Amino acid sequence: MSIYQNIISTIQQSTYKLTPQRETILKILVDNVNEHLSAEELYFILKEVNPDIGLATVYRTLDIFYELKILEKITFGNGIAKYHLRQTFNNSMHHHLICTRCHNIDTISNPIFTKLIKYVNSEYGFEVQDNTIAIHGICEECKNNEDLNNEIR
């Protein structure tokens, strides 16, 4: 079963209806499986495909998909969120290094994080919602710019 078919059946088994709008939004998410998209970025792509779907529908659909555990959500301190398909759908696993200054997302893959999630689950009986770990900080580029500015001063 393809990722797309797999997710379609997840929606069909839920209490939510599979509307044509939701199908279109899902297709974009599947096509951009390696991207981290905000609602606005997704809306921008969507406008080319179907200009009749509004931003409010995009927000609502992303909320529903997140609730159905179809999506992973990466949140920034400023209220912005980015999404991609839950990685269990395509059997890949990366985690997020989030720069709080330029809002860049770097990805890292290391089995140590998967072990950590399993540990939290078994040791604390705590069900981890997102199967990725997000680490917030300052990226290398921003750090270098900062050093440069300090030298100039």
Write the burial class of residue 138 (CB in 10 Å: 0-12 exposed, 13-18 middle, 19+ buried).
middle
97 binds Zn ion (CB under 5 A): no
Total residues at the site for Zn ion (CB under 5 A)?
6
From 11-19, 46-54, 62-70, 98-106, give the range in contact with Zn ion by CB under 5 A. 98-106
Supply the DSSP symbol for 117: H
49 binds Zn ion (CB under 5 A): no
Supply the DSSP symbol for 23: H
Nearer to Zn ion, 38 or 104 (CB): 104
Q: For residue 26, which of 45, 14, 13, 15 has the smallest C-alpha distance?
A: 45
143 binds Zn ion (CB under 5 A): no
- Reading the block at residue 82, the tokens are 């980015």
- Reading the block at residue 27, the tokens are 């297709």
Q: How far, in Å, CA of 114 to CA of 87, rounded? A: 12
Residues 102-121 that bind Zn ion (CB under 5 A): 102, 104
From 12-20, 61-69, 91-99, 108-116, give the range in contact with Zn ion by CB under 5 A. 91-99
Q: 101, 115, 118, 136: which one contacts Zn ion (CB under 5 A)?
A: 101
Query: Which residues contact Zn ion (rule: CB under 5 A)?
Result: 99, 101-102, 104, 139, 142
